[in-house]
Amino acid sequence: MPLDGFTEFDFTHDGATKTVFRRGSGPGVVVMHEIPGITPEVARFARRVADEGFTVMMPHLFGTPGKPITEWYKQAQILRACISREFSVFSRRESSPVTDWLRALCRKTHAECGGPGVGAIGMCLTGGFALSLMVDEVLMAPVLSQPSVPLDLGPSFRSALGISDAELVQVKRRAAEGCPVLGMRFTHDPFCPGERFERLRQELGDRFEGIEIDSGPGNAYGFDTKSHSVVTTHLVDEAGNPTHDALNRVLEFFRERLHQAAR
């Protein structure tokens, strides 16, 4: 089963309760799943992180845990996110309300797991959430995998980061003080435009490390131009493949920020 080996518990903050799946030991990493939910591929990634010596905390935000992805399932969850008050999928300069709950989960994770701080990775709809979580000093290793919010409704949306101006000030401060940000995307991803990574480079300078995998027509690795999920659905976990290298870089980033910093 996709979630074999995970325990689960309910976590409540400010009146909101969500189930969290936990696995592993060591410094904490919060894994925020993508649309449509905690698919077998997302669980596989979380298991890989835990096996590297981390405590994975994977909150259930939408969808059915363990359910395989289908086109109908994906579209249904996109619609749910668009009308949910927890997610601001069309807002260019406002973070999703659910990020407040996620920051509380990060604090709980750090309190229980110790270490210099926690890591967090968001994917797709949750891809940019790690920027909002950086407002809290406990987040030490933010990863943005194909950040897709706000959804593309025009040029000004493509470069938007989906966080408030006040949060961006804090993100830039933390980056300047030594907290780097890692991001990943496919070059032709229709949901994660290149302008968003250019904006991150403008705002964060060399504190932003962007990995962009060629998915253009005729690319050397045969990626479809609609390839989207770097470390889950479209991962080719074979030596020499750029998605394999991206996965290894994420794990290395967590080790650098959470294991080596502790030493």
pLDDT tens-digit map of 152-173: 888 889 999 999 999 999 999 9
CB 130 within 8 A of CB 151: no
pLDDT tens-digit profile of 84-96?
889 988 888 889 9
CB 2 within 8 A of CB 99: no
In angstroms, rounded to a whole number, what is the distance separating the alpha carbons of residues 67 and 70?
A: 9
Ramachandran angles phi, psi of 248, nearest 5°:
-65, -35
pLDDT of residue 103: 98
pLDDT tens-digit profile of 52-70?
999 999 999 999 999 999 9
194-204 vs 165-176: helix crossing angle, rounded to 10: 60
What is the pLDDT confidence band of residue 136, given thresholds at 50, 70 and 90? very high
In angstroms, rounded to a whole number, what is the distance separating the alpha carbons of residues 233 and 229?
A: 5
pLDDT of residue 88: 87
pLDDT tens-digit profile of 180-203?
999 999 999 999 999 999 999 999
CB 10 within 8 A of CB 235: no
pLDDT tens-digit profile of 6-45?
999 999 999 999 999 999 999 999 999 999 999 999 999 9
pLDDT of residue 263: 60
CB 147 within 8 A of CB 127: yes
- What pTM, to 2 d.p., does this model score? 0.96
In angstroms, rounded to a whole number, what is the distance separating the alpha carbons of residues 209 and 220?
A: 23
In angstroms, rounded to a whole number, what is the distance separating the alpha carbons of residues 183 and 144?
A: 5
Question: Domains in the chain and their CATH numbers?
Answer: 7-260 (3.40.50.1820)
Query: Number of C-alpha atoms within 13 angstroms, CB side, residue 132?
Result: 26
